[in-house]
Structure 1
Amino acid sequence: MTDTTDTDMRDADDTPVDPVDRVLARAEARSGVHVFGAAQALQDAATVAYGDTDGDQWDREERAALRRVPGLSTELEDVTEVEYRQLRLENVVLVGVYPQGSHEDAENSLRELAALAETAGAVVLDGVLQRRPHPDPATYIGRGKAAELRDLVAAVGADTVIADTELAPSQRRALEDVVKVKVIDRTTVILDIFSQHAKSREGKAQVELAQLEYLLPRLRGWGESMSRQAGGQVGAGGAGMGSRGPGETKIELDRRRIRTKMAQLRKQLRDFAPAREAKRSERKRNTIPSVAIAGYTNAGKSSLLNRLTSAGVLVENALFATLDATVRRAEAADGRVYTLTDTVGFVRNLPHQLVEAFRSTLEEVGDADVLVHVVDGSHPDPAAQLATVRDVMGDVGARSTREIVVFNKADLVDDDTRLVLRGLEPGALFVSSRTGEGIEQLRAAIEAALPLPAVEVRALVPYDRGDLINAMHESAHIVSTSHEEGGTAVHAHVSERLAAELAPYAV
């Protein structure tokens, strides 16, 4: 049998192979355990560039300072789940299960999990896939394979196992009991990244709520921590009158505190809503169209916003670099003003808790007039990206919104791949935020898709009402203007409010 515990993998020219690029390709899979290979989840470092169009990246140094500190180990101790889950990720082994016929999808998913773990600050040492019709209801990968995984973890020196799914609490506990190190799942990693990257008060509250909702049914205590408080009176000679049991255990205390904190966070998020609604209502009152940039994580949405507006939004070659929605002003060629919104990225198997917690942020997508759906053209499975994003957009009520599909990173796509992508989405645009290719065509497509104001007017506006002409230039679609003796003759599509102001001058 081939040894699968070698961690110092090297390529043909004897240079070390990066774990994220191939998540430690195994020499030969054991029976039922298969290798995953060349699918890319992060852009190659050699092709990442930050240019003038990205604006000032003030947050980059702060974000880099969030990297995890190496050297921390994780052991099961006499602590509760709340304390235990606060320990940091370090050296990890990935594990996944897939049925017959979906090996390539499983490899892509595990590769993406490796990129998620790397973004969270972990070092990926190894990754294994097991083929079986269904995950084992007890230990996810079956007890025999769990024992093999325990040996692998011990051999490579890992302190955490990450499962490529959302584990049931019982599965995680049973697998943890076998492998003897911390076991977490894909959802935990995504929540961890979100907690690192959230900056605004609302974003932090959303992430904390999602974490607590996920943690509550998964609380666990070990040893004496299950009963640390005595009930009733305790006298000098032992238990006194009223000692009717162990009292409230520490785990029960944790549950009560978590529920209280969740109620506070929900109230806090409700308090944020009026301000956001006021801004949105103001834009609608002034008939300012909104364009939302949505797409898979690391597809290049922030880079695209920077290229279109020089917004200075943080750009990073990492998953979920953007969590807080950013709204920027843009101007069409005819002078109309519209907004461009950069939104949080999506990922396959996006945790339900996050969709719910970030519903207020995702409303920006649901309320948009135009949706720019950004897809990473260099990704090995763009069809899955398209499907994943459209599923989430359906959940937030954006399925009927006008959609412009954009294949970004066109500078990394060869002609044959472009033909394949064109077959996938015949009307899509190819752009490159890095080189500027296709940006003007995208700008024109956005402007053409912007909705026209509701009312068509023809008016002769006196020259002393220049304020009305300025208002039309900002928010109306002007078909034609001409200067006449009595004033400026205008043919335009305007909002109902502006139409009422122009009514006295209608012709």
Structure 2
Amino acid sequence: MLEKKDITLEKAVLIGVITKDQNEEKSKEYLDELEFLTFTAGGHVIKRFTQKMEMPNPKTFIGSGKMEDVRQYIEAHDVGTAIFDDELSAAQERNISKILNIKVLDRTNLILDIFAQRAQTSYARTQVELAQCEYLLPRLRGMWTHLERQKGGIGMRGPGETEIETDRRIVRDKIALLKARIKTIDKQMAVQRGNRGKMVRVALVGYTNVGKSTLMNVISKSTVFAENKLFATLDTTVRKVVIQNLPFLLSDTVGFIRKLPTQLVESFKSTLDEVREADLLLHVVDISHPNFEEHIASVDKILGEIKSSDKPTIMVFNKIDAYKPEPFDVNDLVAVKTEAHYSLEEWKSTWMNKVGNNALFISALNKQNLEDFKKRVYDEVRKIHITRFPYNHFLYPDYNYENLE
């Protein structure tokens, strides 16, 4: 999927399963995403292993025969890291480590490691450290010898490196300390949000790597870090934006992902407060991704979990410049047209039927349809602004106040 010839990247293999709940196509899709996560963390995937099973093996995740295949391949190709697509139990991780004798990570560990890389502020680093400690606590037994054998690299950043984490009591004390620290910062951030007054708040939400930061930069003329890697943005950025003399606050939030570790959802609670307290959500979608509708469902699920699914939302389908439908031969009598063959116009028609004019199709990178985007956001912010500041109605003489119910 990704070509990277940098010899400094760690060689890794990916391991996934095909079950009744996760067919072959779905398994491949998850492994594609896991490979991108590995690339983001600084690794180079040289091989994938999958096995059809009723359910993952409770001891070693995959069967003994397949595990032996993995072990032989690792030895023959000097691979240093094995990454599993699902979260491993403490027992599974220990058993697999003994067999493979290399670093063993799961999807959760990998995501936590990327977050450890991306955390720029002390607050974000505290949040990541808390999530790592909570992940580490049930896995302490026998872990130090494993860490001692594998120094540095993917999955070894943050609190997992230090010998102090081998003691459960100390880890629990550390978790309590981090939670107290976060609670203090949460209060400070709540005060900061309160100090913003009644200004309308708009939050960018969406799957990771859909172009939220790029859109933020274009609209607010700021320089938020944007990169074609997962979780390029970790710290929430808030900017004051003015469209047609109407000011509002725009926040860029951390991207969501399928199988998002519960530890991160909890430890990043305050970051997600920007979403909870927003008046309007801009749900940014990468329409060029073949599974963008599943990404939408994943984001909607997390919005539901943080009690934000009922907020006014505009669907912003980004990266239209990169959208390429699969070719469809109308003369092929047995061919069946699917959503993969939809043109952009067909997708527009589909989503307009679902959400009306709350669906926009843009390219933040190439600035396509941005004027339509700005006008739609302006109209929605203006409605909220008028209800909040009715004495400013003279600013909007053309507004129909009868529709404010």
TM range, normalised to the smaller chain? 0.7 to 0.9
Alpha-carbon distance in structure 1 between the residues aligned to 2:122 and 2:144: 37
Residue 159 in structure 1 maps to residue 80 in structure 2:
yes
Report the alpha carbon displacement of residue 258 of structure 1 after superposing the two structures with TM: 1.3
2:313 match: secondary structure: strand
Does residue 480 of the first structure (1) align with residue 397 of the second (2)?
yes
SS at match of 2:378: helix
Tell me the distance in 1 between the aligned counterparts of 2:231 and 2:215. Answer: 15
- Per-residue CA deviation, residues 288-343 of structure 1 (Å, 9 max, x unaligned), is 1000001011100000001111110011111001000000111132x221011000
Larger Rg: 1
Query: Judging changes above 3 Å, is the alpha-carbon distance between structure 1 residues 218 and 314 closer, same or farther for their aligned structure 2 residues?
Result: same
Change (3 A) 1:442 1:154: same
- Change in CA separation of 1:224 and 1:392 when aligned onto 2, cut-off 3 Å: closer
| Contact kept in structure 1, 2:205 and 2:255, CA below 8 Å | yes
Any stretches of 5+ residues in structure 1 without a counterpart?
1-18, 24-66, 72-89, 226-249, 459-471, 482-490, 494-507
Aligned equivalent of 2:366: 435
In the alignment, which residue of structure 2 is the partner of 1:328? 239
Work out the CA distance in 2 between the residues paired with 1:313 and 1:121: 22
CA-to-partner distance for each residue in 1:210-258, whole Å, 9 max, x for gaps? Answer: 0000001001327999xxxxxxxxxxxxxxxxxxxxxxxx889622221
The alpha-carbon deviation at position 274 of structure 1 amounts to 2.3
Distance 1:423 1:141 in 2: 44
Q: Give the counterpart of 1:171 among 92, 97, 110.
A: 92
Counterpart CA distance in 2 for 1:455 and 1:256 is 50
Q: Deviations over 1:33-84 (max 9, x none)?
A: xxxxxxxxxxxxxxxxxxxxxxxxxxxxxxxxxx9x938xxxxxxxxxxxxx
TM normalised by structure 1 equals 0.67
AA aligned opposite 2:365: R
Match of 2:211 among 288, 292, 300: 300
**Residue of structure 1 equivalent to 2:172:** 259
Residue number in structure 1 paired with 2:11: 91
Structure 2 CA distance for aligned equivalents of residues 434 and 350 of structure 1: 27
Measured in 2, the distance between the counterparts of 1:404 and 1:224 equals 51
Counterpart Cα distance in 2 of 1:224 and 1:209: 22
> Which of 195, 200, 204 pairs up with 1:289?
200
- When the two chains are superposed, the root-mean-square deviation of aligned CA atoms in Å is 2.8
Q: What residue number does 2:328 align with?
A: none
Q: Which residue is 1:373 aligned to?
A: 283
The answer for the alignment partner of 2:152 in structure 1 is none
Match of 1:425 in 2: 351
Q: Aligned runs of 1:228-243 on 2, under 5 Å?
A: none
TM-score by length of 2: 0.83
Measured in 1, the distance between the counterparts of 2:347 and 2:24 equals 22
- Identical aligned residues as a percent: 38
Task: After superposition, give the CA deviation of every residue in 1:246-294 in whole Å (9 maximum; x if it has no partner).
Answer: xxxx8896222211211111111111122211222223x3x21000001
Residues 188 and 222 (structure 1 numbering): CA distance in 2 closer, same or farther, change over 3 Å?
A: closer
Residues 375, 405 of structure 1: 8 Å contact kept = yes
Matched, 1:141 2:72: no
- Maintained 8 Å contact 1:383/1:424: no
> Which amino acid is the alignment partner of residue 442 of structure 1?
F
Question: When the two structures are aligned, how many residues end up with a matched partner?
Answer: 362
1:446 has 2:363 as partner: no
1:269 equivalent in alignment to 2:182: yes
Determine the C-alpha separation between the residues in 2 that align with 1:414 and 1:306.
25
* Letter paired with 1:324: D
CA deviation profile, 1:142-194 (whole Å, cap 9, x unmatched): 11111111112112221111000111111111222222222110011100000
Say which SS state the counterpart of residue 395 (structure 2) adopts: strand
Cα distance in 2 between the residues matched to 1:404 and 1:181: 46
Deviations 1:338-359 (Å, cap 9, x if unpaired)?
A: 0110000011100000000001
Q: 1:391 to 1:212 in 2, by over 3 A?
A: same
Structure with more helix by fraction: 2
d(CA) in 2 for partners of 1:107 and 1:295?
22
Shift of 1:439: 1.1
Corresponding residue SS for 2:372 = helix
Q: Secondary structure at the match of 2:397?
A: strand
Contact 2:140 2:165 in 1 (8 A): no
Residue 79 of structure 1 corresponds to none
